[in-house]
Amino acid sequence: AFDVQRIAQASAKHPKEASIKYAYGTAGFRMKADLLDCVVFRVGLLAALRSAKMDGQYIGVMITASHNPEEDNGVKLVDPRGEMLQQSWEAYATSLANAADDAALVKYFEDLIQVAKVDVSKKPKVVYGFDTRPSCPALVAALEDALGACGVEAINFGLKTTPQLHYAVRCLNTQNDPMARYDYGKLILACDELCMLTIVVKANIKKLSPIHVDCANGVGAPKLRELAKYIDDVLDVKIVNDAVGVKGKLNFECGADYVKTTQSLPLGSTLQPGNRACSYDGDADRIVYYYVDDESNFRLLDGDKIASLAAMFIIDVVKAAELADQIKVGVVQTAYANGSSTHYLEKTLKVPVSCVSTGVKHLHHEAERYDVGVYFEANGHGTVLFSSAAQQAIRNAEERTPAQAEALAQLKALTELINQTVGDAMSDMLLVEAILAHKQWDLAKWDAAYTDLPNKLAKVIVPNRNKFKTTNAERQLTEPKDLQAAIDAEVAKYSSGRSFVRASGTEDAVRVYAEAASRAECDELIVKVVELVQ
C-alpha cells in the first residue's frame, strides 16, 4: 500500500510551477529542463502506480529530450513489454502533472488508484535511464524522491540510449538478463551470424568501407564506441560528433533530425564522394544514412529508404526459406513517407502498406498486425516486428536444402539483431550494414531502388493550433472548414503533387508538408499551402 503522507511530504520539495500547463504528448513531457523538476517527480509517482497496476512488473522511466536543444529535457514512461505507455494512462500523466498543489496531487493519486483499479498490494518496480544532458542528474534525484516515497524497488540503469532502456524493461519482465543484449553478446552473435552466412554464400565477401557515424554529441557516441570494439571484424566504424558533455554541442547542427530536416551534412562531417555515413539523434533511437554523389550532391537515405531496404531483403529471405505462404511482410508508414517510397513498396515489392498517424506508438501498434511488420517514420525512427507465429514458423521449419537452411538461419539472426521493442539507431544500423554487406552494395546502389520526390517541410506559427483537426491518418483536414478543399485545388495544379497540414504534437506550431515532381514545383506548392494556413 502507498503512504500518501510520505508522498505529500516528498512532493513539498518539488512544487509545481503555477503558470505552466503540462501535457503528456507524443514524446512524453518535453520542455525547458528547469520547468521539469515537479513533472519528473510526479512521473515517478505514476510509474509506481502503473507498475502496481501491471501486477508489479517493471515500468521504465527515460529522461531525455532526444533531438531537442541541450537546455531542454523530457521524461517518458515505458510499459512492461518495452512499449510506449498505454494511451489511456497518458491522460492520467497529464492530470497528475497539473495538480495544483501537494493536497490536490495526493487526492488525484488516491482517486487514480480507484479509477484505474490499481492493486496496491503489489510491490512496484521501476527501472530508469537518462541521456547526456547536464540537467539529468537533478531530474534523476527528483525521480528517486518519488520512487522512494512510493516504496518502489528501483534499478538505476544509468546513462543509456532510449532503446536500451526499452529493451531492458522487456528483458527484466521476461526474466532475461537486461544487459544480455547490451553487453552486445547477443547482438554480435546475430550480426556475425548474418555476415558469416554471407561469407558462406559468397566466398569472396569483402568488408564494406568504414561507416562514418555522426552521434550528435550524445549518448550514442560512448555506446557505439563500446559496440564498435566487438564488431571490427565485420564493420569499421568512424565516430564523428562525440563531444559528450561539451557545453552547447548536443544536437547542435548535427544528428539525424538536423540532417533530415535541412537535407545537408552535419557539422564536423568531411564526407568525400564514395564515403558512407549515417547520423543518430541525441538519444540514439533514430538513424538516417547519406552520402555525397560523384557530382558532390548530398543524397539522403531516410527512414523510408531503410524500410524499403529491410522489406526487400526480408521478403527475399522469407521466400528462400520457403515460408512465403506462412509469413506475410507488411510496411507501416506515416503521411510524411515520400510518395515514391510508397509507390516502390506497393508496385515493385508488392507489399501491403498501411498509413497511420505520426508517433511511434501508432506505427508500432499497426505493425503488430503483420507477420513481419516493418515500420519507419521518414525521420528515421523505426524497427521490424516478428509476430510470435512468425518466430515459431521460423523455428519449426524443416530444413530441406542448404539454401533454405541458410535462409532460416538468416531469419533467426534477424529476429535477434533487431531491437523489436522500439526504433534503435545502433540495431537499425547493424541491420542495414548486414544487408548491404550481404549484397555488397554501396549507398548509391541502395539509393537506386527509387528516386525520392522533391519534398519540403514548413512550420507555421498560428494563434491556435488546436483548430487544425485531421482525418485519414493526418492526410486531410476536417477543420478549419473549407481549408482542405483549398489545399486540394492548389495540389491539383502540380504533377505528382501532394501536401498536408497537421498540428505538431511536440511544438506549438502547425506543420506543412509538400512534395511534387520537381524541386521548383515543390517549393512553389509549399509556399501556396503555407499562405492558405496563415
Note whether 370 and 328 are within 8 A (CB): yes
Which lies closer to ligand 16G via its Cβ, residue 11 or residue 251? 251
**170: region left, alpha or beta (phi > 0 left; psi from -120 to 50 alpha):** alpha
Give least dist CB 257 to ligand 16G, A.
9
Give least dist CB 457 to ligand 16G, A.
9
Which lies closer to Zn ion via its Cβ, residue 252 or residue 344? 252
CA angle 328, 330, 333 (to 5 degrees): 175
CA angle 25, 289, 521 (to 5 degrees): 80
Indicate if 66 belongs to the active site.
yes
Which of ligand 16G, Zn ion, none interacts with 511 (beta carbon under 5 to 8 A by kind)?
A: ligand 16G
What is the three-class DSSP state of 255? Answer: coil
In angstroms, the Cα distances linking 418 to 196, 386, 412, 431 are 17, 10, 10, 7
Which lies closer to ligand 16G via its Cβ, residue 315 or residue 501? 501
259 is written with which cell numbers? Answer: 540532417
b/e 252-279 (16+ beta carbons within 10 angstroms → b)? bebbbbbbbeebebbeebebeeebbbbb
- SS3 string, 24-45, reads CEECEEEEEHHHCHHHHHHHHH
Which lies closer to Zn ion via its Cβ, residue 162 or residue 484? 162
Q: Under the rule (CB under 6 A), what is the footprint of ligand 16G?
A: 26-27, 358-360, 377, 379, 381, 504-507, 511
Which of Zn ion, ligand 16G, none interacts with 251 (beta carbon under 5 to 8 A by kind)?
A: none
144 is written with which cell numbers? Answer: 528517486
Which of ligand 16G, Zn ion, none interacts with 198 (beta carbon under 5 to 8 A by kind)?
A: none
Which lies closer to Zn ion via its Cβ, residue 281 or residue 371? 281
**CB within 8 Å of 288: residues ≥ 6 apart:** 256, 259, 260, 278, 279, 300, 301, 302, 303, 306, 379, 380
Which lies closer to ligand 16G via its Cβ, residue 71 or residue 507? 507
Give least dist CB 471 to ligand 16G, A.
16
Give least dist CB 455 to ligand 16G, A.
15
117 is written with which cell numbers? Answer: 483499479
Q: Which amino acid is at 266?
A: P
Q: How far apart are CA 466 and CA 479, in angstroms?
A: 10
Q: Please report, as residue ranges, which positions from 275 to 304 form the binding site for Zn ion (by CB under 5 A).
A: 281, 283, 285
Give least dist CB 429 to ligand 16G, A.
18
Q: How far apart are CA 382 and CA 157, in angstroms?
A: 23
* Residue 240 phi, psi dihedral angles, 5° rounding: -120, 160
- Contacts with Zn ion by CB under 5 A: the residue count is 4
Give least dist CB 280 to ligand 16G, A.
14
72 binds Zn ion (CB under 5 A): no
257 binds Zn ion (CB under 5 A): no
* Residue 74 phi, psi dihedral angles, 5° rounding: -165, 170
292 is written with which cell numbers? Answer: 555525397
Strand order, beta sheet including 153-159: 29-32, 72-78, 58-63, 125-130, 153-159
Q: How far apart are CA 358 and CA 240, in angstroms?
A: 30
Strand-strand pairing, 276-280 and 382-386 = unpaired
Q: Which amino acid is at 225?
A: R
Catalytic entry in 11, 19, 51, 66: 66
Give least dist CB 358 to ligand 16G, A.
5
Note whether 227 and 234 are within 8 A (CB): no
Helix axes 162-173, 425-439, angle to 10 degrees: 100
Which lies closer to Zn ion via its Cβ, residue 28 or residue 373? 28
Give least dist CB 329 to ligand 16G, A.
22
Give least dist CB 325 to ligand 16G, A.
34
Which of Zn ion, ligand 16G, none interacts with 283 (beta carbon under 5 to 8 A by kind)?
A: Zn ion
Which lies closer to ligand 16G via its Cβ, residue 27 or residue 45? 27
Which of ligand 16G, Zn ion, none interacts with 456 (beta carbon under 5 to 8 A by kind)?
A: none
Q: Please report, as residue ranges, which positions from 358 to 377 form the binding site for Zn ion (by CB under 5 A).
A: none
Peptide bond into 480 cis (omega under 30): yes
Which lies closer to ligand 16G via its Cβ, residue 362 or residue 412? 362
66 binds Zn ion (CB under 5 A): yes
Which residues lie near Zn ion (CB under 5 A)? 66, 281, 283, 285
Q: Kindly list the catalytic residues.
A: 66
